[in-house]
Each structure stands twice: as structure tokens, then as C-alpha cells.
Amino acid sequence: MTLEVRDLHKSFGGVRAVSGVSLSVAAGELLALIGPNGAGKSTCFNMLNGQLRPDRGSVRLRGQEITGLAPRRIWRMGVGRTFQITATFASMSVLENVQMALLSHARRLFHIWNPVAKEDPSRALALLDRVGMSAQAARPCGVLAYGDLKRVELAIALANDPALLLMDEPTAGMAPAERVALMELTAHIAREGGIAVLFTEHDMDVVFAHADRLLVLDRGRPIAEGIPSEVRRDPRVREVYLGTGATHGYT
């Protein structure tokens, strides 16, 4: 198993954002974490990549305990992530954004002499090419459309050859056709490279088309888990989520 999570808990003040979540993702597998707004999906992600420290529970990456490590340490162990609200370096070009991840991976951040502009761009361009963003490589990230930013984030997340990809609503802000294309691409990359993918998504078309398995959260608790066809029929899931009209589009 690439990722194994046991009994994760997190509260904010009185709010139990996540209570008792366990899951595992194998290499090359896509697991979708779904649930209504405020179900605790992003909080889960934040605990997995080290942004938040869990109150209880353990996170293991390829058998190694990573609970409580800093995000930068976890990244170095091979976990890439994209954010629900995109986070990129607005004052840099698309290419430079990806180059930063590559430079960091090569541990060359403290170099103060050779300009970044003289770096060989081929690897960064190749990554951008994979997500269909190489034509916009020279544009500053500050002016991109939201859907394009999500693609750039994917390219950044792939820069350190991750074993695990965490994608928080990777297709939010995209047109429906784009969404399917991007998830197809993600699935392809994951299967080809043996990357485990955990993603959240409100678009059920995308989820049911690409996820190998689903985990449904409601108010922090897991209420169902299984392959798409099973979960779709689960009465509790229909009640709290699928029946609420959140079946299509972004809520």
C-alpha cells in the first residue's frame, strides 16, 4: 500500500471536522473522497500532507510513519498535492512555477549566482506539456484562468515524481468537457507511473467515471466505502449527498 491511514481525528474548537477516518490507496489506484460541503475532506488532505497535525491517528507512506512531519518533509518523501483554492507563485511565469519545484527537488534553492532564466527548461516544459500548458509557459501565473491554474498545479505536483498525489477538487472552475479530459489524463498518469491518487470532487460524473473506489464522508465520519456501483446504490449516501442535488457541477 502506498498510503495507509488509520483512525484520523481532528477538531477545531468544538467542531469535529474529521473523526475516525481510515483509508488506504494502492499504487496506480484512484480513490475519491466525497461528501457534502464541510464534510472534512480538505481537513483530511491537510493532515495527510502535514499542514495540520491530527489529534489522533496515524498516516503511513509506503510503510513509513509520517504523522506530524512538516509538509516540506512529506513532499520530499514523495507526496505532491494540489489545493482546493489554487496556490501558485503569482509573480512568476508558469514555467518558473514548475522550475521552482524542480530546483527544490534538486536542493538548489540556496544558490545565489546562476540565474534561473539560464536553467535548462526542458524538464519543466515536458511536465507542462503533459497537462497541456506548454503553450502558456511564459505567461505570469497571476493572469491565468482558474482552470489553467489547476493544470499548472498538477504539473507542479508531478515535478518530484510523487508516489502519492493529493488532489483537492482538481477540476473545480473548469468546463465539463475539460473536467473529463483532465481526470482522464490524471488517471492515465497514475496508472502509467504507478502513482496512488487521492482526490475530492463534487462533479459526480467525474467521480464515477474515474475513481476505482470511493469513500464517503459526512460531518467528519466515513459513512460508506466501496466501488462506484455499490456506493451509488447505498441508501445513506443517497440521503446525505447524492440525493441533495449535488450530483452535478460544483456546489
Partner 1 sequence: MLENLLVQGLSGLASASSLFLVASGLTVIFGVTRIVNFAHGSLYMLGAYLAWTLVTSLPRGHLGFWGGVAMAALIVGCVGVLIEVLLLRRIYKAPELFQLLATFGVVLIVQDLALLSWGPQDLLGPRAPGLRGATEILGIRFPLYELFLICVGPVVLALLWLLFNRTRWGTLVRAATADREMVGALGVNQRMLFTTVFFLGSVLAGLGGALQIPRESVNLQMDLAVISEAFVVVVVGGLGSLPGAFLAALLIGELQAFGILIFPRITLVLAFLVMAVVLVIRPHGLLGRAPSTAHGATAIEPPYPPPSPWVRRIGAAALALAVIVPPFLGDYALIVFTEIAIMVLFAASLHFIMGPGGMASFGHAAYFGFGAYGAALLLRHFGAPMEMGLLAAPFAAGLGGFVFGFFCVRLSGVYAAMLTLAFAQIAWSTAFQWVELTGGDNGILGVWPSPWAQSKLAYYYLALTLCAAATLLLRRAIFAPFGYALRAGRDSPLRAEAIGIDGFRIRWFAFVLAAVAAGIAGGLFAYAKGSVFPTYMSISRSVDALLMVLLGGVRTVSGPILGALAYTWLHEQLMRAFDLWRLFLGTIILALVLFFPQGLAGALQRGERRS
Residues at the interface with partner 1 (CB under 8 A): 49, 51, 70-72, 75-76, 81, 83, 87-93, 96, 99-101, 103-105, 108-117, 140, 142, 156, 159-160
37 binding partner (options Mg ion, partner 1, ligand ATP, none; Cβ < 5 to 8 Å by kind) = ligand ATP
Pairing type for strands 196-200 and 164-168 reads parallel
Instruction: Please identify which residue in 2, 19, 42, 99 interacts with ligand ATP, judged by CB under 6 A.
Output: 42
Q: Which is nearer to partner 1, 27 or 116 (CB)?
A: 116
Question: Letter for the amino acid at 114?
Answer: N
- Binders of ligand ATP among 168-227, rule CB under 6 A? none
Q: Are 204 and 242 in contact (CB under 8 A)?
A: yes
Q: Which is nearer to ligand ATP, 15 or 109 (CB)?
A: 15
Taking contact as CB under 6 A, which single stretch among the options 40-48, 59-67, 93-101, 107-115 is the one that binds ligand ATP?
40-48
Pairing type for strands 3-12 and 56-61 reads antiparallel
**Cα separation, 36 vs 58, whole angstroms:** 24
Does 39 engage in binding with ligand ATP (CB under 6 A)?
yes
SS3 assignment, position 226: strand
Nearest-approach distance from CB 124 to ligand ATP, in angstroms: 30
Pairing type for strands 221-226 and 213-218 reads antiparallel
43 binding partner (options ligand ATP, Mg ion, partner 1, none; Cβ < 5 to 8 Å by kind) = ligand ATP
Residue 223: all three cell numbers together: 459513512
Q: From residue 9, give the alpha-carbon distance in Å to each of 23, 119, 153, 203.
A: 13, 44, 28, 26
Instruction: Sketch the per residue contact string, 69 through 108, with ligand ATP: x for CB under 6 A, - otherwise.
Output: ---------------x------------------------
DSSP characters over 66-93: -TT--HHHHHHTTEEEE-SS----TTSB
User: Given the rule CB under 6 A, which residues bind ligand ATP?
Assistant: 12, 15, 17, 35, 37-43, 84
User: Given the rule CB under 5 A, which residues bind Mg ion?
Assistant: 41-42, 84
